[in-house]
Amino acid sequence: MTSGETRSPMSAFPPVPVTRTRLAILAREKLPCSPRTIPRAQLIKEKDDIDHYLEKNFKGLSKEEVAAHRNSYKKSICVEMLRDGYHKSFTELFALTEQWDALRRAAEVRSLFWLQRPLEEQPDKLDNFYHYLTRAEAAERQEYYEEVYNNLYALACYFDNPEDKWVRNHFYERCFKIAQRIKFDGGKKEAEAQAHMGLLFEEEGELLEAAQHYEAFHELTQGRIWKDETGQLLNLLACESLVRIYRLLSDRMLENKDYKQAIKILMKASDIAKEGSDRTMEGEAALFLGSAHLAAGEYETALTVLRRYSEIAESVGDDLNLGKAYEAIAKVLQSQGQTTEAIEYLEKFVKIARNNFQSLDVIHACTMLGDIYNEKGQYSTASEYFQQAFSTAVELMKTALMDETKVHYGIARAHQMMMTMTNYIESADLDSLNCLLSWKESRTQIKYDPVLGLTRRATEDDIYHYPDTQEEITRSPDNQ
């Protein structure tokens, strides 16, 4: 070897000869990487050779056991189902496997990256299919429908993950059909199945169908003390589900400006929330209803409903919802032109938000206060609130909020400067003229003192800044 050559460490020693059995040699020849093509007749002969080899060298190994070694795990599971007489289980597993493959093919057509592994490579899932499907089929033969339901529901729970949600939904539907045949439990299983179907449709965005199932769930649990696995009352869960779905439906109606129907459905949600004996849920339902009345222009009704919401939040010590109540009430008062009262509620909202470190609420409330003072012509106060909103946005490092609040702050400061310029112009004296000329040269902020009648240049604290750079604004006389 020359000095310029390199040698792999693996080539330092000669390869160790590997002793393989006849079975291993025959199996390796049929691998996809085999360099030669094997005729079909030879493959059949070699299969017989393998069977003979196993029977000779592994005493007591049956043909079924040999097939288990040769076949894929999925095929072995299917064969086991058929051999034990579970034909329905086999049919269902086969159909699910076909759907699994269809989803894969559809993903390939759409050029999407299919992250899910093939079912053949997930033996745990196949084991669960075999265990619960065969037990469900055996129970169904004896008309033990509750046992059928429990096994199917166990499969639904096992596949309750983003990857296999469609499998979960399949077993939710099967549970729903079986639950209607269970009569001796008073309808508890049917109520649970209605809840699962409501969730299924809600996730698919089919809100009307979801509402129908949740309404049936609510009706079946009224007056019952049934509890779920976590010990929570099913009736309370039904109330929460209905209030949530009614709110989602009302959002769609409000987007379409169908205020009458939105208010109608939210009134139903409010009544159901009271039935659930959950004060927080009752308060949130009042908030949605009050907001719908506000959108419809029914200010007095909105104010009454929202004040009830604030009373509920205050009674349970819920500061966050109390702040939302103050914000909503302020919006109603502002729409009615009662800006003084609106400011009082917004200042309470700011205080609550700061105490609870709700920075986004602080930004929102300060922006609302700045808008009100800006409309009233009190530009100095408006600038103060817009500056607070901007400073909070800077602390959060949210670029979009920084840009938005920066614009509000800049407009308010421009209005403030405009009033100062107007005062100088209206004074029409030599000092005012000198101050205007000085400002034109330096473009620094100037103030007018109406009491002393004096003009002065701005101090360092009065300099007008760009909020994003925090540098003094200066422009040359030519840059007008």
Q: What is the DSSP letter of 447?
A: E
Residue 39 has a pLDDT of: 59
Domain boundary residue, one of 357, 384, 404: 357
User: 364 lies in a domain?
Assistant: no
* Nearest Cα residue to 366 out of 398, 435, 412: 412
Concatenating the DSSP letter of every residue in 263-279 gives HHHHHHHHHHHHHTT-H
- Is the Cβ–Cβ distance between 75 and 125 less than 8 Å? no
230 contacts: CB under 8 Å, gap ≥ 6? none
Domain of 346, CATH number, reads 1.25.40.10
Query: Which amino acid, 255?
Result: E
Which backbone phi and psi does 120 adopt, to 5 degrees? -60, -25
Q: What is the DSSP letter of 13?
A: S
Which residue(s) pair with 454 in the sheet?
A: 449
User: 60 lies in a domain?
Assistant: yes
Rounded Cα–Cα distance for residues 236 and 272 (Å): 10
- Is the Cβ–Cβ distance between 402 and 393 less than 8 Å? yes
Residue 103 has a pLDDT of: 78
Residue 147 has a pLDDT of: 94
Rounded Cα–Cα distance for residues 176 and 38 (Å): 52
Domain boundary residue, one of 308, 334, 357: 357
Structural Rg of the chain based on CA atoms: 37
pLDDT in tens, the chain (480 residues): 444 444 433 333 444 444 444 444 444 444 444 445 555 555 565 666 666 666 666 555 555 555 555 667 787 788 888 888 899 999 999 898 888 878 777 766 665 555 667 777 788 888 899 899 999 999 999 999 999 999 999 999 999 988 888 999 999 999 999 999 998 888 999 999 999 999 999 999 999 999 999 999 999 999 899 988 888 899 999 999 999 999 999 999 999 999 999 999 999 999 999 887 788 899 999 999 999 999 999 999 999 999 999 999 988 888 888 999 999 999 999 988 899 999 999 999 999 999 988 999 999 999 999 999 988 888 889 989 999 999 999 998 888 888 898 898 888 888 877 777 777 777 777 877 777 777 777 766 555 444 333 333 333 333 333 344 333 333 333 333
Domain boundary residue, one of 357, 386, 414: 357
Residue 229 has a pLDDT of: 83
User: 306 lies in a domain?
Assistant: yes
Residue 47 has a pLDDT of: 64
Rounded Cα–Cα distance for residues 375 and 408 (Å): 12
User: 408 lies in a domain?
Assistant: no
**Number of domains comprising the chain:** 2
Residue 67 has a pLDDT of: 57
Residue 63 domain boundaries: 21-70
